[in-house]
Amino acid sequence: ARALRLILGDQLNPLHSWFEHPDPGVVHVLMEVRQETDYVLHHAQKILAIFAAMRDFARHLREAGHRVRYVAIDDPSNRQDMTQNLAALMAHYGARELSYQQPDEWRVSENLRTWGASQTFSVREVDSEHFYTSRDEVAEFFGPRRQWLMEAFYRHMRQRHGVLMDTSGAPMGGRWNFDHDNREPWQGTPLLPPDARPVHDHRGLWETVRQAGVQSFGNPQAGEFHWPLNRAQALAWLDHFIQSALPNFGAYEDAMSAGNPRLFHSQLSFALNTKMLHPDEVVRQAQAAYEAGHAPLAAVEGFIRQILGWREYVRGVYWAHMPGYETRNALGHARPLPAWFWTGQTTMRCMRDAIGNSLENAYAHHIQRLMVIGNFALLAGLDPGAVHQWYLGVYIDAFEWVELPNTVGMSQFADGGLLGTKPYVSSASYIDRMSDYCQACPYDRKQRTGDRACPFNALYWDFFARHQPLLQDNRRLAMVYQQWRKTPEHVQTALRDQAALTLSRLDDL
Ligand code: SF4
């Protein structure tokens, strides 16, 4: 072969220009390596889904006439290291040129770049042909500004790509953002969409992964595994979402319901982040649903904002701040994760449901991640690096470029407020308003002190009290600090004592 092309596990895009015409001089290489399974402890389903999707992709390429070399996790020639495998394969095929698509993780990008620079054959990086923006575009958009407001970038993207814009150049519906129409709790109606997810049986692959010694956590569900594993399944999933869930997505995007882990969420992030789907086709289909009168503007706009705005924005933040962003810790938080992050065995019903879903399905929806798990982690002062590793490992859609800014920036405020204008924390009242968790929780959402008091309540006030020097001048927190200052001293003391007691026994909550 003349050339090898490396395809990473999150580059499963059959529409990439590489695959327009089969070329007998080119071998496409996919590999399952311990380097990629082991850099963080992963959920079993995440390893399974990526390997199964990679295997499916290799099959698809072969059927289309392309040459493929697939290095399985148990292949005797597998050196379990990407560049060592590449060096061996280049020699084996006598190839003179290696190409790879631009990686989305800094770690992989650096690995390939530094290794590639010292080779005698030619090494070329090509575009992954997936995102709307280049790595540096968000940084160029914001320039020297200290705070990077997503909303400004999002409006720019709407205009630039003509998404939800009317012919006069104004946003459809006269507003850019319809969030205040959203945020409803869900109380059983409207009915949830039917479950149309594919079922895969991956017991054989799971056995191979286990025998290779790959460590993991969470339920492998190898016998009835649900994620879309190729573009055709991802397109069917997208269509099902648009038809049956998108109309209600907006109103209930912040709702939480025990035992209903999906509600009206799309769960398209795995298919998008592995590049089975292109963001623009998802955005255009959602827009078409609005134009056809099938879904309200508030739902469509809220959904599109996540993909056209937020997703591209966090990627830009990631590339502007790597390396180093992963160790940010502006609030100096250092507590280890309580043991029940790995079991779900806590009395707090909200945490039990959100962490339980995560361990069961390698998935929790946005508001569970942000306002239950992330909220608790921030209030309790958990080490943001450990929180980041947990999120990166547990979620099926978590690739570092998207997970890290969401966790370290938005959720844990560990970047000191680059992404979020204030820390996303709440006491029990928010969780109670948006969910049915508190009604059946052994803790009392109304009590702030005492054995039965909801842990979120005292932790909430303790968080603001202990970070007063850093946060009190934040204008978005003026009301919080006003309320704290008005709280009688003996109540302040009682709240802080309660918080100290809670923090001393986090494992037992
Ligand atoms: Fe969570 Fe507190 Fe509500 Fe229990 S009472 S579900 S711990 S917020």
Ligand 1 atom at minimum distance from 456 CA: 2
User: Among all chains, which residue has been given the structure tokens 């090898």?
Assistant: 4
Strand partners, 42: 216
> Please, which residues have CB within 8 angstroms of residue 277's CB and are 6 or more apart in sequence?
231, 234, 235, 238, 268, 271
The mean per-residue pLDDT over the stretch 445-465 comes to: 98
Residue 484 has pLDDT above 90, yes or no: yes
Average pLDDT, the chain: 96
**Residue written as token pair 């999933």:** 237
Going by CA atoms, what residue is nearest to atom 2 of ligand 1?
Answer: 454
Are 208 and 72 within 8 A, CB to CB? yes
Position 141 confidence tier, pLDDT thresholds 50, 70, 90: very high
Give residue 223's pLDDT: 82
225 pLDDT band, cuts 50/70/90, is confident
Cα–Cα distance between 509 and 502 in angstroms, integer? 8
With a pLDDT cut of 90, the percent of the chain lying above it is 95
Q: Residues 176-218: pLDDT tens digits? A: 999 887 789 999 999 999 988 889 999 999 999 999 999 999 9
pLDDT value at position 89?
97
Tell me, using a 6 A CB cutoff, whether residue 349 lines ligand 1.
yes
Alpha carbon of 191 to ligand 1 centroid (Å): 25
pLDDT for 397: 97
Q: Give, using CA atoms, the residue closest to atom 7 of ligand 1.
A: 348
The position carrying tokens 């409803």 is 184
User: pTM score, two decimals?
Assistant: 0.96
From ligand 1's centre to the CA of 156, what distance in Å? 39
Question: What does the pLDDT read at residue 421?
Answer: 87
Find out whether the beta carbon of 460 lies less than 6 Å from any atom of ligand 1.
no
Q: Ligand 1: does its nearest atom lie under 6 Å from the Cβ of 431?
A: yes
Atom index in ligand 1 nearest the CA of residue 427 equals 8
Atom 1 of ligand 1, nearest CA residue: 350
Contacts of residue 70, Cβ cutoff 8 Å, sequence gap at least 6: 29, 30, 31, 54, 55, 58
Name the token pair of 212. 């290779």
Interval 77-116: pLDDT, tens: 999 999 999 999 999 999 999 999 999 999 999 999 999 9
Q: Give yes or no for residue 7 having a pLDDT over 90.
A: yes
**Which atom of ligand 1 lies at the shortest distance from residue 457's CA?**
2
Say how far residue 68 (Cα) sits from the centre of its chain.
30
How confident is the model at residue 180, as a pLDDT?
80
pLDDT at 330 over 80: yes
Pairing of strands 42-43, 3-6: unpaired
Query: Could you give the ipTM of this predicted complex?
Result: 1.00
Answer yes or no: is the C-beta of 456 below 6 A from any ligand 1 atom. yes
Q: Which residues of 423-456 are buried (b: 16+ CB within 10 A; e: fewer)?
A: bebbbbebbbebbbbbeebebebeebeeeebbbb
Q: Is the CB of 142 under 6 A from ligand 1?
A: no
> Given pLDDT bands bounded at 50, 70 and 90, which one contains residue 51?
very high
Band of residue 368 on the pLDDT scale cut at 50, 70, 90: very high
Query: Quick check: 47 pLDDT over 90?
Result: yes
**Residue 332 CA, ligand 1 centroid: distance in Å:** 26
Ligand 1 pocket test: pick from 340, 348, 355, 429 the residue with the most ligand atoms within 8 Å of its Cβ: 348
The single residue listed with the structure tokens 């701040």 is 321
Model confidence over 292-303: pLDDT tens digits? 999 999 999 999
Atom of ligand 1 at shortest range from CA of 351? 1
- Give CA angle at 494 (493, 497), nearest 5°: 85
User: How far apart are the CA of 500 and the centre of ligand 1, in A?
Assistant: 18
